[in-house]
Structure formats: structure tokens, C-alpha cells
Amino acid sequence: MIYEVRRDPFLISTDKSKIDAALVHRFFSESSYWAKNIPLDVVLTSIKQSVCFGIYDGEQQVGFARVTTDKATFGYVGDVFVVEAYRGRGLSKWLMQCILAHPELQGFRRWMLATADAHGLYAQSGFKPLAKPERWMELHNPDVYNR
């Protein structure tokens, strides 16, 4: 299912054929704090295996996010960005609203995400710090793309 929401002049779409994979890869590998040096093939696989949301100004992609999910109980929001020239226009907030409103992503018991610097943005969508972080564990490999 392709889900699209328009707020002129912008479009948010889950149509993967619209995604500018080179832009997404460039942002992750050069500008993000979470995926420096990520290989293009890893980005392409992550796009293929996720529900992806692109933000477009006409034909130009200006933002991205993806949801890793079983489409039944759980969704993980990740890889959220808006290119610098388009920041400050409320696009990230609108993107989160669209993600949480997607018809195929309803009724989840839990949504999660990780952020180093956008807590205020996600709080506007209802996200809160973990109530019981002692119950959560992770297996983290921060240098996986630097080998």
C-alpha cells in the first residue's frame, strides 16, 4: 500500500520508487551521527525491508524516515532526517504525524525510537523516556561501518 499525504508544496509518500537512495545514503554516511560510513548496499537493504517515508518538494526529496515493523504489534522509527535547507518548517513534526497515522501501522502495543538530540520533537508525538529502562537490553555494534 502506498500512503501519501500532501501539504502544499510538500508531499510525504511511502512510494519507494520515489526515494532518492543516493541522497539518503549521502546524508547517513556523511551527515548523520548514527550511520557514518554506512555502505550503500546496507542502505538499499534497509529501504527494501522497511516502511519508508519520503518528504518531497516537487520531485526533490528533502527528508526521510523509516519504520521497522511486524505491522501487528511493534514499530521502530529510525533514520529520520530533513535536509538542512528545509529545517525549521515543521516537516519533522508533520512526518511523525504521518508515520503514526499510516493505516497499516495502527494498533501497535509499542512504538520505539532512539535519539541523541530530538527528544522535544518526539515528545510532541507522545514519545517518552523508557518507563523501566532496566527491563531493556541491547546488543550494540557502533563500529560496524568502520571496518
pLDDT digits (tens, 9 = 90+) for 19-78: 999 999 999 999 989 898 999 999 999 999 999 999 999 999 999 999 999 999 999 999
Read off the pTM.
0.95
Residue 145 lies inside a defined structural domain of this protein: no
Residue 142 lies inside a defined structural domain of this protein: no
CATH code of the domain in which 100 resides? 3.40.630.30
Residue that is written with C-alpha cell 503514526 in the block: 100
Residue 127 lies inside a defined structural domain of this protein: yes
Q: How far apart are CA 62 and CA 124, in angstroms?
A: 21
Q: Do the bridges between strand 60-69 and strand 4-7 make them parallel or antiparallel, or are there none, so unpaired?
A: unpaired
Centre a 10 Å sphere on the Cβ of residue 70 and count the other Cβ atoms it contains.
8
Residue 140 lies inside a defined structural domain of this protein: no
Number of domains in the chain: 1
Residue 141 lies inside a defined structural domain of this protein: no
Residue 27 lies inside a defined structural domain of this protein: yes
Centre a 10 Å sphere on the Cβ of residue 76 and count the other Cβ atoms it contains.
14
- Where in the sequence is the domain holding 68, given as residue range(s)? 4-135
Q: Please name which of 73, 145, 78 lies closest in space to residue 114, comparing C-alpha atoms.
A: 78
